[in-house]
């Protein structure tokens, strides 16, 4: 009885917090969504004006399609309706947090491993130095294609420290037998992302952080590796199949770009006498329990 009462008080506080977060999200996003809706209406009127007056000049060339535009246009086939404002706020919030927290968490794990294993950091710097001419302080998008070891470092992080240890919950649409077990229709199924990447039957010494496992025999290129799991499933940091993360290649590009530029401009060393602690903590993503502390030395004076 006392426990129920305490639970109610505790839940009320949580609930209040949840409602406040939601209110904040709406406060930030609704003005943008409405502004975009207004702009679309203006564009539509302008198009109609241009159609009835073909000689007039249009400023449509400056228009860039945004995520919100696609939501405003979306027609839900089953409900035969459009998304309401609340649904659009939820989707924008999901898109923003799904696209930032995951990548920033992966970046933190990569940098932690570069500090823990200075030889990997030096090897990336050497690779960058072979591509970027002396004095240039930015690795550009087009340079990244020439950096296979960097790609191997990113893939190894996604295998060893996937930011999400579970996929979003999926469910089966019909009875399925898998490995001798029957999974009845509508059962919610989850996938243990981290355990797939740590399977000792697939990966030799799975706990070790060894980017070399993704390199070809000559050590000058990445072994063709399918991170989408279309050919075979060896790790699933982005999921697999129809609901795979739609932006997995953008995420890999972001990670390559940020890591390359961070390594090009600064050398990172562990704080004197302190080991880099790779313990994990569950938040929205799996983050470092003790966030990384480093000594930074600029490479350019």
| Residue numbers 134-193 binding ligand HEM by CB under 6 A | 163-164, 167-168
For ligand HEM, the closer of residues 47 and 97 by Cβ is 97
Which long-range CB contacts under 8 A does 253-257 form with residues at least 24 apart? Answer: 253/141, 253/144, 254/103, 255/103, 255/106, 255/107, 255/110, 255/154, 255/157, 256/144, 256/147, 256/150, 256/151, 256/154, 257/139, 257/141, 257/144
The verdict on 245 binding ligand HEM (CB under 6 A) reads: yes
221 binds ligand HEM (CB under 6 A): no
Is 245 labelled as part of a ligand binding site? yes
Q: How far are the Cα atoms of 39, 140, 250 from residue 257, in angstroms, in the given order? A: 33, 7, 10
Residue 258, interface with ligand HEM (CB under 6 A)? Answer: no
- Residue 164 phi, psi dihedral angles, 5° rounding: -115, 125
Query: Minimal distance in Å, beta carbon 295 to ligand HEM?
Result: 26
Q: Which is nearer to ligand HEM, 137 or 199 (CB)?
A: 199
The one segment of 52-60, 109-117, 246-254, 266-274 that binds ligand HEM by CB under 6 A: 246-254
If one asks whether residue 243 binds ligand HEM (CB under 6 A), the answer comes out as yes
With CB under 6 A as the contact rule, the residue among 33, 114, 128, 251 that binds ligand HEM is: 251
Contacts of 246 (CB under 8 A, 6+ apart): none
Minimal distance in Å, beta carbon 225 to ligand HEM? 15
* Residue 238 near ligand HEM by CB under 6 A: yes
Q: Does 106 bind ligand HEM (CB under 6 A)?
A: yes
262 near ligand HEM (CB under 6 A)? no
Residues 11-50 that bind ligand HEM (CB under 6 A): none
DSSP helix/strand/coil, 90 = helix
Q: Would strands 75-76 and 81-82 be described as parallel, antiparallel, or unpaired?
A: antiparallel
CB atoms within 10 A of CB 117: 17
Closest CA to 220 of 131, 114, 94: 131
Element (H, E) at 240: none
83 binds ligand HEM (CB under 6 A): no
Residues marked as binding? 245
Site for ligand HEM, rule CB under 6 A: 95, 98-99, 102-103, 106, 163-164, 167-168, 237-239, 243-247, 250-251
């Amino acid at each position: 009885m006392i426990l129920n009462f305490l639970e109610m008080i505790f839940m009320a506080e949580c609930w209040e917090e949840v409602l406040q977060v939601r209110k904040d999200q709406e406060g930030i996003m609704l003005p943008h969504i409405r502004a975009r809706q207004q702009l679309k209406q203006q564009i539509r009127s302008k198009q109609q004006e241009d159609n009835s007056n073909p000689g007039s000049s249009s400023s449509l060339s400056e228009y860039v399609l945004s995520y919100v535009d696609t939501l405003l246009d979306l027609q839900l086939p089953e409900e035969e309706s459009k998304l309401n404002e609340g649904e659009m706020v939820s989707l924008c919030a999901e898109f923003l947090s799904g696209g930032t927290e995951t990548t920033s968490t992966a970046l933190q794990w990569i940098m932690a491993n570069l500090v823990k294993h200075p030889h990997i950091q030096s090897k990336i710097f050497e690779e960058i130095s072979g591509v970027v001419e002396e004095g240039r302080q930015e690795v550009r998008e087009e340079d990244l294609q020439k950096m296979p070891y960097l790609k191997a470092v990113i893939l190894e992080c996604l295998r060893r420290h996937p930011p999400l240890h579970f996929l979003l919950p999926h469910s089966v649409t019909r009875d399925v037998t898998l490995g001798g077990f029957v999974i009845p229709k509508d059962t919610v199924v989850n996938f243990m992302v981290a355990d797939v990447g740590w399977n000792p039957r697939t990966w030799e010494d799975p706990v070790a952080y060894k980017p070399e496992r993704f390199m070809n025999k000559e050590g000058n290129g990445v072994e063709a590796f399918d991170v989408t799991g279309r050919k075979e499933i060896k790790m699933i940091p982005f999921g697999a199949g129809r609901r795979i993360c739609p932006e997995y290649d953008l995420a890999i590009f972001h990670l390559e770009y940020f890591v390359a530029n961070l390594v090009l401009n600064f050398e990172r060393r562990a704080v004197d006498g302190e080991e880099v602690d790779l313990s994990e903590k569950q938040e929205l993503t799996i983050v470092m329990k003790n966030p990384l502390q480093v000594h930074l030395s600029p490479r350019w004076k």
